[in-house]
Amino acid sequence: MSTFIKGLEGVVVAQSQLSYIDGQAGQLIYRGYHIHDLATHSSFEEVAYLLWNGRLPTRAELDDLKHQLALNRQLPNGLLAILRSFPTTAAPMAALRTAVSAAAMFDPEAEDVSLEASRRKAIRLTAQIPTIVAAYERLRRGEEPILPREDLDQAANYLYMQTGQVPDPENARALDRYFILLADHGMNASTFAARVTTGTLADMHSAITSAIATLKGPLHGGANQKAMEMLLEIGQPDKVDDYIKRALAEKRRIMGFGHRVYKTEDPRATVLRRMSKELCEKMGATKWYEISRRIEELVTTEKKIYPNVDFYSASVLYVLGIPVDLFTPMFACSRIVGWTAHVLEQLADNRLIRPRAEYVGPKDLTYVPIDERG
């Protein structure tokens, strides 16, 4: 019997060329490129190409990918009808999970698990998920969905579909950088779920549905929403100290802090902290950055743990006008490229993922007929 490790912490379950995390040094690398360089110089579409193809694109290749994404953003009428049937009280992540599952029924290659078809489905899903999120947001407010535009990139197009207004270029670039930062992150829970599903040779939509269902949990993707709810509950910078000290005394979890892998600062948090400061100042909402910064000072001093990607992404998304309960769907709008890249990698060298469990229950019990049981 192999050694039992709760939560599979530190267990290597696959070999991957997609992203590398150095938890001690606080580094995140996509296909050899450091995340800080990509967040500064690249675009989400370019990062998608990199993760799917193993190299940065030429100008022609990037233009072609942008064109393919633009062509595939609009939802089939049948899928839009399904979205319209959802109760307006449904959690957005539940709506996204169900819509992605339903999207398979309208995909002409739904059951084709070949690498070639799966690559095309990766593009379609990456294009469609932001449209699904924006459409459901408008439908639950009693408004009609806005058709996507072909002349806007992924981030700008999402903001346009949510509001009907072409976004400020700086705001669109901020969301684009957020998408870059969250595009992949090793063998996290949702990625592992996608690879387990793919290992059975289930289709791409099934794998991504598994990933979205996993991301929905507050210990994974849902932490960004919980972090913003904490900021809103605190409300003002001068209330931070009492709130955090009381929370720590009561041993409550401070959402957005700590990470299973990083033993120093999450490199994505480094970028997002700066983005939060710049955006909050620009939007006249500096209190959210001030509250966040003071929380970080108290928690890192008292608990010796650092903010993760969820903490500062909360204030970034909030000042961009993203509703709080859409924070985790926005995570999915980014991570879809990482999930699909892992699906492609799993398919390229597949073996059914079948770990064992250590049985710790009773053995050799004697069966007692039901009429003789006390």
* Other C-beta atoms lying within 10 Å of the C-beta of residue 292: 29
The b-or-e profile of 346-356 (16+ CB within 10 A means b, else e) is bbeeeeeeeee
> What is the pLDDT at residue 98?
98
Q: Are 272 and 178 in contact (CB under 8 A)?
A: yes
**Predicted local confidence at residue 9, as pLDDT:** 81
Minimal CA–CA distance to 271: which of 22, 41, 18, 24? Answer: 41
Residues 178 and 298 in one domain: no
Query: Domain check: are 253 and 141 in the same one?
Result: no
Shared domain for 210 and 292, answered yes or no, is: no
Structural domain including 264 reads 223-318
Residue type, 226: K
Same domain as 111, residue 56: yes
pLDDT at 241: 96
Tell me how many domains the chain contains. Answer: 2
Nearest to 196 by CA among 55, 331, 48, 8: 8
Q: Are 129 and 331 in contact (CB under 8 A)?
A: no
Separation between Cα atoms, residue 55 and residue 193, nearest integer Å: 25
Please tell me whether residues 108 and 247 are part of one structural domain. no
How many whole angstroms separate alpha carbon 373 and alpha carbon 100? 48
Residues 240 and 344 in one domain: no
Alpha carbon distance 205, 201 (integer Å)? 11
Q: Let me know the angle formed at the C-alpha of 219 by 213 and 222, rounded to the nearest 5 degrees.
A: 60
pLDDT at residue 259 in the model: 83
As averages over each run of 10 residues, the pLDDT of the chain (374 residues) reads 79 92 93 97 98 98 98 97 97 98 97 97 98 98 96 97 97 98 96 97 98 91 90 97 95 87 90 97 97 96 90 96 96 98 97 91 96 92
Residues 96 and 132 sit within 8 Å (Cβ to Cβ): yes
Tell me, what DSSP letter sits at residue 183? S
In a domain, 12, yes or no: no
Query: Which residue, chain included where needed, has tokens 């000290």?
Result: 245
Verify that 157 and 263 share a domain, yes or no: no
Take residue 156 and report the two structure tokens written for it.
Answer: 């700008």
Q: How far is CA 8 from the centre of its chain?
A: 21
Are 81 and 194 in the same domain? Answer: yes
- Of 324, 311, 182, nearest to 256 by C-alpha is 311
Residue 1: its pLDDT value, please?
55
Burial of 247 (0-12, 13-18, 19+ CB in 10 A): middle
Question: 23 and 262 in contact (C-beta within 8 Å)?
Answer: yes
Q: For CA atoms 314, 320, 325, 328, give the dihedral sign.
A: negative
* Structure token digits, residue 139: 């439908």
Considering the entire predicted model, what is its pTM?
0.94
Note the pLDDT of residue 262. Answer: 87
Task: Give the CA distances from residue 255 to residues 248, 258, 306, 318, 370, in Å, rounded to whole numbers and listed in that order.
Answer: 12, 9, 11, 16, 49
Please check whether residue 313 lies inside any domain of the structure. Answer: yes
Tell me the catalytic residues: 220, 259, 310
pLDDT at 10: 80
Domain containing residue 41: CATH number: 1.10.580.10
Asked whether residue 240 is domain-assigned, the answer is yes
- 246 and 302 housed in the same domain: yes
Partners of residue 22 on adjacent β-strands: 27
What confidence score (pLDDT) does residue 219 get? 81
Instruction: Establish if 208 belongs to a structural domain.
Output: yes
Same domain, 37 and 129: yes
**Residue 296 belongs to a domain:** yes
